[in-house]
């Protein structure tokens, strides 16, 4: 299916949006299912947000699954690429580094408040450059205030650099229903359990169990975004039942799967 209008080639689109002189600017682009935005970077900070559809954002700092209730704060200079799951209506913000000095210092997932969602929609219609003291200027200033208040969300899993742990994590990502325990992995890698425990916390900031749970939940987000049923996702990822999966999902994200993907 074709998008409502054909996205511009990446270099042309970047040149146009990077050249806007105002502290904050917004851009609306609609993408068809499966669209891939090739690796690139901005000289400005970017809020990658979509009012419709789900994005898989891959950057030097990690990989995220991003539904309409969430966004990615991409720091200036960070190389990233985006894959669209379903049709995506992207509404991104570009923030000059001077204007964003007191904003987030690293690339991460953030929640989008109802107010910020409406402000972003309004910002798309703001003509650039806008003059200080005007309504447009006040809208953009309020956007900066809202950005400062955004909650940081756990939509990222850190891959370890240790080759032994990396082997575990890569296998778990291939087979997230793998029930192998830490003791099983310790035997396979000729390590003791305490060493694996210590390395996991040191390299990923999580225990083995927490890392596997996070990896499963992020994979679940991607599967649910493609329309998979909760029962099928739960069983594919090794949960005993859909209710067990939903309970863990709510515990981690504060919402049920259907609420999480709601397009308000």
Per-residue pLDDT of the chain (264 residues; tens, 9 = 90+): 444 445 655 555 555 455 556 889 999 999 998 899 999 999 999 999 999 888 889 887 777 888 888 899 999 999 999 999 888 999 999 999 988 778 888 898 898 989 999 999 999 999 888 888 899 999 999 999 999 988 887 677 778 889 999 999 988 888 888 888 999 999 998 889 999 999 999 988 889 998 988 888 888 888 887 788 999 999 888 888 899 999 988 888 778 888 777 655
Same domain? For 110 and 241 the reply is no
Helix (H) / strand (E) containing 238: none
Q: How far apart are CA 99 and CA 7, in angstroms?
A: 28
Q: How far apart are CA 76 and CA 260, in angstroms?
A: 28
pLDDT at residue 263 in the model: 55
In the block, tokens 């580094």 appear at 97
3-state secondary structure 118-182: HHHHHHHCCCCCCCCCCHHHHHHHHHHHHHHCCCEECCCCCCCCCHHHHHHHHHHHHCCCCCCCH
- Domain for residue 178, yes or no? yes
Beta bridge partners of 85: 54
Same domain? For 46 and 117 the reply is yes
Q: Point out the domain boundary residue: 135, 153, 171.
A: 153
Enter the DSSP assignment of 92. Answer: E
pLDDT at residue 1 in the model: 43
Same domain? For 82 and 146 the reply is yes
CATH at 223: 1.10.10.60
Q: Point out the domain boundary residue: 153, 184, 218.
A: 153
Same domain? For 177 and 139 the reply is no
Beta bridge partners of 92: 27
Note down the domain range covering 196. 163-260
Same domain? For 77 and 98 the reply is yes
Same domain? For 144 and 196 the reply is no
Closest CA relative to residue 56, chosen from 207, 218, 186, 245 = 218
- Domain for residue 3, yes or no? no
Same domain? For 203 and 230 the reply is yes
Q: Is-contact 248 213, C-beta < 8 A?
A: yes
Please name the residue ranges forming H helices in the chain. 10-18, 114-124, 135-148, 163-174, 182-189, 193-204, 208-225, 230-236, 242-253, 257-260
- Domain for residue 103, yes or no? yes
User: Which pTM value belongs to this model?
Assistant: 0.73
CATH at 133: 2.60.120.810
- Domain for residue 193, yes or no? yes
Q: Point out the domain boundary residue: 127, 153, 179.
A: 153
Q: Which residues contact 189 (CB under 8 A, 6 or more apart)?
A: 164, 167, 168, 196
Domain count, the chain: 2
Q: Which residues contact 140 (CB under 8 A, 6 or more apart)?
A: 22, 23, 24, 123, 126, 130
- Domain for residue 158, yes or no? no
Q: How far apart are CA 56 and CA 51, in angstroms?
A: 14
Same domain? For 77 and 130 the reply is yes
Same domain? For 90 and 178 the reply is no
The number of angstroms, rounded, from the C-alpha of 126 to the middle of its chain's C-alpha atoms is 26
């Amino acid at each position: 299916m074709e998008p409502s209008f054909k996205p511009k080639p990446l270099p042309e689109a970047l040149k146009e949006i990077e050249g806007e002189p105002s502290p904050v600017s917004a851009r609306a682009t609609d993408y068809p299912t499966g669209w891939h935005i090739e690796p690139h970077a901005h000289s400005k900070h970017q809020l990658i947000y979509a009012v419709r559809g789900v994005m898989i954002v891959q950057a030097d700092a990690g990989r995220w699954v991003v539904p309409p209730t969430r966004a990615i704060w991409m720091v200036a200079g960070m190389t990233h690429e985006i894959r669209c799951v379903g049709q995506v209506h992207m509404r991104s913000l570009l923030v000059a580094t001077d204007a964003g000095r007191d904003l987030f210092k690293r690339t991460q997932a953030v929640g989008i408040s109802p107010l910020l969602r409406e402000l972003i929609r309004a910002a798309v219609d703001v003509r650039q450059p806008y003059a200080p003291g005007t309504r447009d200027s006040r809208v953009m200033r309020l956007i900066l205030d809202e950005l400062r208040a955004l909650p940081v969300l756990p939509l990222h899993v850190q891959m370890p650099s240790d080759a032994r742990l990396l082997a575990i994590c890569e296998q778990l990502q291939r087979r997230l229903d793998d029930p192998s325990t830490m003791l099983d992995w310790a035997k396979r890698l000729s390590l003791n359990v305490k060493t694996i425990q210590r390395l996991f916390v040191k390299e990923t900031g999580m225990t083995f169990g927490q890392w596997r749970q996070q990896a499963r939940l992020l994979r679940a987000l991607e599967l649910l975004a493609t329309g998979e049923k909760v029962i099928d996702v739960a069983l594919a990822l090794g949960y005993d039942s859909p209710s067990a999966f939903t309970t863990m999902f709510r515990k981690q994200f504060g919402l049920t799967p259907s609420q999480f993907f709601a397009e308000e």
